[in-house]
Amino acid sequence: MYRNEEVEDLKKKILLCVVVLIFVVVLGLCLVFNRFSSSVNDVSAAINKKESFVVLFQNKDCDTCSMVEDRLNQLGVTYYTFNTYTSSFDDVLLKLKIDYKVLVPAVYVIDKGQVLYNINNIQDQETIDSFIKNNNISSFSNENS
């Protein structure tokens, strides 16, 4: 039977393109997953190790989340950020035994895997300031980081 070399060459090129495309897609998915899951993994690991830490729950639709984050930074609070839209959000709530809706922005102080203090739906700077002051969060988080 007669074999057309051009067709064979074309088949090899298509196969090579498909292999390269699959490699690029898999690599891209790995990079995206690692980029958006690092803080999620940090929080999950800290919970599993029964560490003490502060976490800021936020999402992209939250108008006041950046204000809370800026204020935590200004006051020297060491914390993790956690996006509530991640697929593991419900798992984290379950591990922390939180059985109610978390309204963002929310700051939770975790001590040895248990919720020690929390505040939800922060609307102004005075609220976050008094929460940090009343619960001595800045010293709590810096001593345990």
pLDDT in tens, 119-142: 999 999 899 989 988 888 876 544
Domains of the chain: 42-143 (3.40.30.10)
Q: Is the model's pLDDT at 112 over the cut of 90?
A: no
Q: What is the pTM of this model?
A: 0.68
DSSP 83: E
Q: Where are the alpha helices (DSSP H) in 49-143?
A: 65-74, 89-95, 125-135, 137-143
Q: Is the model's pLDDT at 93 over the cut of 60?
A: yes
Helix orientation angle between 125-135 and 65-74, rounded to the nearest 10 degrees: 40
CA distances from 84 to 1, 18, 22, 113 (A): 62, 36, 30, 19
The residue with tokens 């919720």 is 115
What token pair was written down for 129? 């300031």
The more confidently predicted of residues 107 and 29 is 107
pLDDT, residue 143, reads 45
What token pair was written down for 16? 């090579």
